[in-house]
Chain A
Amino acid sequence: MAKTNPEIDVVLNKFDAGGMSRRSFLSKMTALGVTAFVANAVSLSPLGAVKAFAAIGGPEERAWELAKIAAAKATKKSLTLLIPTGSIGNMTPYADKWKNELGITLEFIEEPDEVIHTKGMQEAVAKTGRYDVMMPTAMSYPDWIDSGVIYDLTEWTEKYQPDLFDKEWGVVFPASHHAQLYNGRVAGLLNDGDQITLLCRDDYLKNPDKAKAFADKYGYPLAVPNTWKEYYNLAQFMHDPANKFYGSLEYRSPYYVKWMFMQRLVSKGRLYFDQDMNPTFNSDEGVAALEDMLAMNKYLHPDAFSFTWSSNYNAFGRGEGFMNIVWPSGYKYSKAPSTGPATSGKIAATVMPADTLKDGTKLYAGMFCWGYGYAVSKYSANPELAYAYSQWMTSPTISADAIPYLGGYSDPYRINHMLKPTQRLIDTYTVPYLQTLYDNMVNTVPDFCLPGGFEYQDALDKQVHACMTGAIAPKPALDNAARAFDRITKRIGKEKVKKSWLALTKNLAEPIKKASGADKWS
């Protein structure tokens, strides 16, 4: 760990010894250049100031020390970042600090999000060295690592300790593992908590007439749904197409619809493969998941079959539906009066509904889908500086500061973002929603973060979409997808994908592991 400023040590020890008021402590720390968030969190920590400072400020401080050394050595005085269009808002507030204090210019190359993976693969063959830091989703890591375009960050993380798995400040498990590791090695540092939660219109839930009618019809109180069955009932009850108000805005459009299927499948206790890479989604559970989705179709917004993430947000913000399944950015969108004129101040959020297993237990499974992270290019002229930037930006302190800036995709992903939020995080998300994010994230399942992951997803998506449009029945659709999966596995190499799949499933939430039988896989 980097040395602490001796003057800070004195202040920390004095505060621990009770020789300083909290107010004096905060002003002293601020005067010594400690981030306001760190100072505040340290003063409130039950660990004691010395320990808390090491835990909270540590990753930021260590990264900055490394950045100073790497910047001094660097011949190229800039860092170039490949980022998806629309994400820059979380990064630009720090560009001046890097320029003024380190002499490093941050250059952002924005590309449409759907081509980031391709651009990375392209760099593997072109080896231009144009990028230092690349910002893909977790699904890119396997292919990028295997093609040699990005560094395995494990040794750096062992040396500089970004505290990825810390119980108080780390990335929430299991996304901490799914969205950052490939075959147990650190491939990237997460900077975006892309998970799906369920939003409901609170004003409808609080309507006494509706509450009575609902209770009379279904025999239980009107509230946010706990199970997929309750979700269905609510959509049915609230569906009012004559007034252009629909039960839910769940996605049925190409590219998005696979996620709707995947979360329902896993909540029935099924994963995508067994331990020997045989597809398992074309099972009874998979067919039932598709049938549930088909049954929901009549209570969905008519644009559900063409929604993109943004048009979905638009429609919910305009007040065209009772429920929505969205990323945290969708919550922000609906909360803001400018973009959610009909929903601002009227949203109740909850974790993704559970399904009831044969033994009567409820299994909750959300999707941790998409989710950007920082990877370091193998062809970077200053890889250590690029790593330092990644650790610094994703440290518990700087990330808590960066996330609330508008104009970026970054959403909460560390434990402190949700359970020890700053006022700015609270203002952006509200305390109940941050708690919901935490409760949901602990039960999330990953994308296909495997070699060939994009191909698997695409094959599944095409068949699920065809089924939703009535072009094919559930079972043949899933069988088609299963055959496509087998072909992809065969082409990539079964042992290679299997190794990655077993590593991925090793870190599932315990209830999901148990229900799917993955807890017994060797």
Chain B
Amino acid sequence: MHAKKLSFPLAVVMGAALVLVLFPVFWIAMTSIKPPIDWNASPAIWLPSEPTLINFQTLFNPDAIREYGVGGVSQAATKSVIGSVLASVVSTALSVLIGLFSAIGITRYGSGSKATPLIILSGRMFPPAAIAVPFVIIFSNVGLTDSYTGIIAIYVAATLPFSTWMLKSFVEDLPREIEEAAMIDGRSRLAAHLTVTIPLIRGGLFATTLFIFILNWSEFMFALVLSYSNVSTIPVQLAKYVTATAGTLYGVQAALAVLAMVPLILAGYLIQSHLARGMTFGAIKK
């Protein structure tokens, strides 16, 4: 197929969309290397007057920013970075794994009633703020507050409806006959799913995993409400970069935001071929 030439109006629209999408990223990246005097300057300073890595250093050495006369940062971000990685990776893996088997169960075996998928989704119909406090009570009684086990449990509960629904649509679009052919060849049902279903929907699996990881990675409300001092995640840490002497530390916040973007960009890059396939998988009909 010959590629069509992009028309001028379409190119303008696409260009505008690209600017809109990339501007926040550009601004955060620039702020992360700005010295404190440039963070909130008026008129805004687009490129740092004297680029510096002090904001990144401050993330791991809170006293570093004192070089610019700014004090009051009391916590390193190390714990929150480790906490985010731990909570997000484990809960994403669990959510996708459970979601995958739920999806296969619902699609292939009609598990539950017709309403089951909707009931599963109903878990996401409440705003997190509404269910956070009841969870505090429950978790307090079972000793799960301020623990990674508790955070992971609630992350899985919160994302499982999405993983189930997303994967359900991918499994539905896979012809059942391919699995049956594998079983005629002598494979068990489980082996057929493991060797046929999963490889064939791997694009959707990658897309779902990335989507669930993004949800977990950026979750704020549950982590804020269910943590005291043992548990920390990046979104909660971002809200803590306020000092009495310098106000909001925009540069340090931006540095942590840049760090937080890295795993998502890397993951997106590594699986981009699967991602394109996963996102379009639903368009391939039986």
- Please measure, in the bound complex, the distance between the C-alpha atom of A415 and the C-alpha atom of B239, giving whole angstroms: 34
| The residue from B68, B69, B139, B243 contacting A86, defined by CB atoms under 8 A apart | B243
> Binary interface profile of A, 305-340, with partner B (CB < 8 Å = 1, else 0)?
000111101110010100000000100110010110
Q: Is the CB of A128 within 8 A of B42?
A: no
Closest to A339 in B: B246
Q: Taking each of B70, B224, B247, which has the highest tally of chain A beta carbons within 10 Å of its own beta carbon?
A: B247
Segment of B71-79, B120-128, B276-284 engaged in the interface with chain A: B71-79
Cβ–Cβ contact B146 & A310, under 8 A:
no
The answer, among A87, A109, A310, for a CB contact under 8 Å with B247, is A310
Residues of A within 8 A of B246 (CB): 310, 333, 339
Q: Least Cβ distance of B112 to chain A in Å?
A: 33
A125 touching B133, Cβ below 8 Å: yes
Determine if B196 is an interface residue (Cβ-Cβ < 8 Å).
no
How big is chain B's contact interface, by range? 20 to 34
16 A/B residue pairs, CB under 8 Å, sorted by A: A80-B229, A85-B239, A88-B72, A89-B243, A110-B240, A112-B240, A126-B140, A128-B228, A310-B242, A311-B248, A336-B69, A338-B68, A338-B69, A407-B72, A407-B243, A409-B244
Report the bound CA distance from A315 to B145 in whole Å. Answer: 41
- Closest chain A residue, CB of each to CB of B72: A407
Chain A residue with Cβ nearest B139: A126
Q: Is A58 an interface residue (CB 8 A)?
A: no
Known: A87-B244, A311-B247, A313-B247. A110 touches B228 (CB 8 A): no
Q: In the bound complex, do residue A303 and residue B42 qualify as a contact, i.e. CB atoms below 8 Å apart?
A: yes
Interface residue from B68, B225, B240 paired with A122 (Cβ < 8 Å)? B225
- Chain A 326-370, CB-CB to B under 8 Å as 1, else 0, gives 000100110010110000000000000000000000000000000
Query: B58-98 interface mask toward A, CB cutoff 8 Å, 1 = contact, 0 = none?
Result: 00000000001111101100000000000000000000000
Asked if B136 is an interface residue, CB under 8 A from chain A, the answer is yes
- Tell me which residues across on chain A come within 8 A of B146, comparing CB atoms: 130
Residues on A facing B (Cβ under 8 Å): 80, 85-89, 92, 107-113, 115, 118, 122, 125-128, 130, 244, 303, 308-311, 313-315, 318, 320, 329, 332-333, 336, 338-339, 406-409
Q: Which residues of B contact A332 (CB under 8 A)?
A: 245
Chain B residue with the shortest CB-CB distance to A108: B74
Interface pair B40/A311, CB less than 8 Å apart: yes
Within the complex, the shortest CB–CB distance from A297 to chain B, in Å, comes to: 19
A85 engages B242 (CB within 8 Å): yes
A88 near B42 (CB under 8 angstroms)?
Answer: no
B-side contacts of A112, CB under 8 Å? 224, 239-240, 242
Contacts A85-B239, A88-B74, A115-B224; is A127 near B69 (CB within 8 Å)? Answer: no
Interface of A (DSSP majority class): mixed
The minimal Cβ–Cβ distance linking B134 to chain A, given in whole angstroms, is 9
B1 at the interface (CB under 8 A from A): no
- A211–chain B nearest beta-carbon distance, Å: 28
A92 CA to B74 CA, complexed, in Å: 10
B191 in contact (CB, < 8 A):
no
A128 and B248 contact, CB distance less than 8 A: no
B265 within 8 A of A: no
CB contacts (< 8 Å) of B245 on chain A: these are 89, 329, 332-333, 336, 339, 406-407
B72 → chain A closest CB, angstroms? 3
- What is the CA–CA distance of A409 and B242 in the complex, to the nearest angstrom? 11
A86-B42 contact in complex given A110-B74, A125-B137, C-beta closer than 8 Å: no
Flag if A125 contacts B136 (CB, 8 Å): yes
Chain A residues with CB under 8 A of B228 = 109, 128, 130
B150 to nearest A CB, angstroms?
Answer: 12
In the assembled complex, the Cα of A130 lies from the Cα of B147 at a distance in Å of: 13
Q: In whole angstroms, how far apart are the Cα atoms of A339 and B240 in the complex?
A: 20
> Measured between alpha carbons, how far is A314 from B45 in the docked complex, in Å?
14
In the complex formed, the residue of B with least CB distance to A244 is B42
CB neighbours (8 Å) of A109 from chain B are 228-229
- Set of chain A residues within 8 Å of B240, measured between Cβ atoms: 85, 110-112
Q: A86-B72, A89-B72, A336-B69 are in contact. List 10 more A-B contacts (CB 8 A).
A: A126-B137, A308-B248, A309-B247, A310-B40, A310-B247, A311-B248, A333-B245, A336-B245, A407-B71, A407-B243
CB neighbours (8 Å) of B71 from chain A are: 89, 406-407
B243 and A113 contacting across the interface, CB-CB below 8 Å: no
CB of A191 to closest CB in B, whole Å: 13
Q: Is B41 close to A, CB under 8 A?
A: yes
- Closest residue of chain A to B135, judged by CB? A126
